Structure 1
Amino acid sequence: MCTLPNFFLAGAPKAGTTSLYHDLRRHPNVCMSDPKETWYFFDYRKYNERDLDWYESEFFEQCDEQSLVGEATPGYMSHPDSPFRIAERLEAHPQFIFLLRDPVERAFSSYHYDIQRGSRDPARSFSEVIRDPYEQKADPSQNHVGLLEAGRYICHLKRYEQCFGCERLHTVLFSEFINSRRETLHRIFQALGLSPIPIPDSERHNATQYPLSTSLFIALRRAWKVTEQALGPPVAKYFKPLRDTVRQNLLSSGREPPSMTASDREYLHDFYADANASLAEYLDLSLSHWTWNSSG
C-alpha cells in the first residue's frame, strides 16, 4: 500500500504549523509523518541522493490504513524549488495547507526562535539582520531562504498555484487559527474531505523561548564554536546533548518577549507593503490587521 503524502502542511514557519500538526494527528483517518518535518523536498542533498522509497520508509512506515497521509515541513512554502520537486515526484497531486501570519510578527518570532535553536548569532541584532540583503532572498544552492523572504507569501502561493492549481491550496490566517481554533479546524477537515471530530482544548507547541541572559547565550555559542574547532565535528557531536541542556537552561518561555522597535516595525511594514496588498487581492480578504502600528 502506498503511504506517500496526500497533503502537506507546508508553512509558514512560526505560524502555528506545529500546533496544527498535532491537531491533525488526532484525527483517526489521518497519519502524519514522524517526525513532523522531513525537509525532503527542501534539502537538495536529500532530494538528489534519496528516492521516494527511502522517503516513504523513513517517515511514513507507521502509516497503513489511514485514508490521508500528511507531512508538515514549514520551509516548503518559501523554497523556490519545493513545489516543482513535489510535482515531479508525486504522481497523485496532493493538497496544501498554508498558515499565514502577519509577516512582520512572523519575522520577529522566527529571529528569536533561530537564536533559541542556536542557528543564528545572538550578537547580531534584529535591526541588523532584517537589513541584510541576504535575508531578503532565497538561495536554493545553499538550502537558504532569508528571514524576510519567507514572509513574501504571495510569491510562494503563486508558485504552488502554477504547479497544482488554486483548488488544491488552502490558506488559513494565523489569527483565525488562534482565535477560532475549533471552527478553523472543522473547515480544514472539510477541505481535506475528513469528517468532524471533537476538538480538545488547545495546547502550546514549539513556542519561542527567550534567553534569560543574552550575554551568557552569546558566550555559550562562542565557547561551543571553539570546542567544535578544537575537537573536530566527529568528536564534538558527542558533547551536543550537554550543550543543548546548558542552552535550554538559559532559555525561558515565561519571560516577557522583547519588543520590536518602532523603526524596525516601520521598515518591515514598508518592505512587505506591496506583497501584502497583492496577497489581500489574491485571497479576496482584508488584511487590515497586518497594518503597521507605531505604538506597537
Structure 2
Amino acid sequence: MGKMKPLLYNVDKLKEYFRHIECAAIYGAGDYGKTLIDYLIFAGEKEKILGIIVTKRKDADHNYKGMEILEAADFFETHRNCSVIIAASLEHWDAMEETVLSKGASYRIMTQELYTDMQRKMDGREKTVYQGLDFLLAGFEKCGTTSLYAALKKIPAIYLSDKKESHYFSWFHMVEGAREKLIAAYFDNIRKGQIVGMIEPTFWASAKEIHAEFGGTIRLLFLVRNPVDAVFSYFKMANRLGEGNLLEAYRRSGGRFHVSMFDEYFSGLIAQEPEIFQYDYWMESFLKEYPHEQVNVILFEDLIQNPNEQLHEILKYIGVCEEREFTELPIVNEGNFVMADSEGYELAGRKFMLFRERDLLDAEEKSKKERECLEVQKLYAKAEKIYGVKMTDRQRTQLCEHFDGSVRRLEKLLGRDLTELWF
C-alpha cells in the first residue's frame, strides 16, 4: 500500500496550506483549475498564483483571467522545487503527480470536496432553510437526465444538490429520521429566492410516496426516450458498473462479451419489473396523484435537437425566467462501452462498490480510502473495453414489438404521433 496522497478537502485546508507557502502553480486549466483560480482571486490570493500549467497546451486555452497557461515542461525549466496544486479529476492524478515529483516540486491535490466548498464560499447570496420542493424530475433513467441536471445546475435561480441523486425511496424506510437526513445532506446550501428541485430518474415507480413525502403542489418532470434505445443503454450501463448478473453469461460466451448477452439480461429485467420503460404505465400512476398541468413530459430527442427551445420551456414550467441562449445540451455520462471480458466486468463491480463506500465516508476517512480507489481506478482504466456496441436487427425488432403497445398508449397521453421519431 502506497503512502496517502496530500489531499486538500476544504477551503480551510487550502488556506492553511497557503499560509505556509510564498506562491504556488496551479496544475490544470479545466473546470477544477479555473474554479481554484477564481476562488484564490476571490480570497485575495491572486499574487500567490505563480502560474497556470498543463501537460499539453493544445488541450487548453492559452490564458485565463489574464494569466498565461504554460506547458509543464516549459514552466519547470525555470521553476524547479516550487509548490504546485494539482487541480484535475481523480483519473489524472497519478500522471500529474509523477510529473511534479520528477521536477522536485512539493504539491497538494485538489479534491471534489474542495471544488464544491470553493463554489459555495464564492456564492455571496444569503442562505435559507429548506421549506419544500418546487419541482422534481422523477424519470427516466438513460434518457438524458444527467445532461439536463448539468444544464439546470448552472442557472443561479435554481437550487439542485451537488449530488445529483439521493435514491431516497430506496433507504428512507430503513433509516430513523430519514427526512431530516435527506434535508441535511441534499438541501444544505439553498440561497434566498432559489427555485428548489431534485433530479431523481429512479423515482418513476414512486408516485404515491412522492405525493406523501413532497406534497401535492410540486411540478413534475419526466424525460423519455425511445424505449428500445433506452433499455439497451441501460444494459450497457449495468455492464460497466458490474451489475445485471452477467457473470454466467460471460462464462457461457467463453469469458468474452457478446451482444447476445442482452437477450438474457432483458428477460431477467422484465421478469423483475414487467413495466420497465413502459412510460405510459408510470405516467398513469402519477396522473392519479397529480393533475395534468403538474406533469410535464419532455422527449429526449426533442431536447437534443432543440436545446434552447426545450430548456426555456422547462424553465418557464418550473417558474424560472432565464435570458441566456442554450446552444447545446451538456454531454455527460457518454460511457458508450462495455467490459470486454469477465475479469473486467468483475473489476467494474468492485470499483462501483468501492467508490460507493468511499462516498459515504467523511473527509478524513475518505483520505484513507483514496489509495485503494486509485489503484482500482487504474486497473479499470486499463481493462479492455468494447466501444460502440449496437443491438442486432433481430433484437431491435423484438424490442419494438415488446414496447409497441406502450408507445401507442403514450401517444394518446401526449397527443402526439411518435411513429417517425421512435417507431
State the TM bucket, normalised to the shorter chain: 0.7 to 0.9
Is residue 193 from structure 1 mapped to residue 329 from structure 2 by the alignment? Answer: no
Identify the residue that residue 57 of structure 1 maps to in structure 2. Answer: 184
Q: Which digits, 9 at most, give the CA deviation of each residue in 1:176-209, with x for residues without a partner? A: 0111111100111111121123134433111233
Output the CA distance in 2 between the equivalents of 1:223 and 1:176: 37
Q: Which digits, 9 at most, give the CA deviation of each residue in 1:247-266, with x for residues without a partner? A: 244376xx641111122112
Structure 2 residue matching 1:183: 3-state secondary structure: helix
- Give 1:38's match in structure 2, choosing from 166, 177, 182: 166
User: Pairwise mapping of residues 147-296 of structure 1 onto structure 2 (< 5 A)?
Assistant: 149-202=275-328, 203-211=330-338, 213-218=340-345, 220=347, 239-250=372-383, 256-289=387-420, 291-292=422-423
Task: Return closer, same or farther for 1:251/1:95 CA change in 2, 3 Å cut-off.
Answer: farther
More displaced stretch, 3-12 vs 199-208 = 199-208
Q: Which runs of 5+ in 1 are unaligned?
A: 139-145, 225-236
**Percent same amino acid at aligned positions?**
22
Identify the residue that residue 102 of structure 1 maps to in structure 2. Answer: 226
Identify the residue that residue 70 of structure 1 maps to in structure 2. Answer: 197
Contact 1:13 1:74 in 2 (8 A): yes
Output the CA distance in 2 between the equivalents of 1:8 and 1:136: 26
Shift of 1:34: 2.6
Identify the residue that residue 142 of structure 1 maps to in structure 2. Answer: none
Is residue 113 from structure 1 mapped to residue 237 from structure 2 by the alignment? Answer: yes
More displaced stretch, 259-268 vs 277-286 = 259-268
Output the CA distance in 1 between the equivalents of 2:182 and 2:349: 36
Output the CA distance in 1 between the equivalents of 2:284 and 2:130: 29
Q: Which digits, 9 at most, give the CA deviation of each residue in 1:63-90, with x for residues without a partner? A: 131331111110111x2xx221121122
Letter in 2 for 1:242: E
Task: Return closer, same or farther for 1:130/1:27 CA change in 2, 3 Å cut-off.
Answer: same
Task: Return closer, same or farther for 1:51/1:291 CA change in 2, 3 Å cut-off.
Answer: closer
User: TM-score when scaled to structure 1?
Assistant: 0.80
Identify the residue that residue 141 of structure 1 maps to in structure 2. Answer: none
Task: Return closer, same or farther for 1:246/1:290 CA change in 2, 3 Å cut-off.
Answer: farther
User: TM-score when scaled to structure 2?
Assistant: 0.57
Output the CA distance in 2 between the equivalents of 1:251 and 1:34: 32
Letter in 1 for 2:263: S
Output the CA distance in 2 between the equivalents of 1:247 and 1:4: 40
Structure 2 residue matching 1:289: 3-state secondary structure: coil
**C-alpha root-mean-square deviation of aligned residues, in Å?**
2.7
Identify the residue that residue 17 of structure 1 maps to in structure 2. Answer: 145
More displaced stretch, 268-277 vs 194-203 = 194-203
Is residue 136 from structure 1 mapped to residue 267 from structure 2 by the alignment? Answer: no
Larger radius of gyration: 2
Letter in 2 for 1:166: H
Letter in 2 for 1:197: E
Letter in 2 for 1:100: V
More displaced stretch, 112-121 vs 277-286 = 112-121
Letter in 1 for 2:376: R
Q: Which runs of 5+ in 2 are unaligned?
A: 1-128, 250-260, 352-367
Letter in 2 for 1:120: G
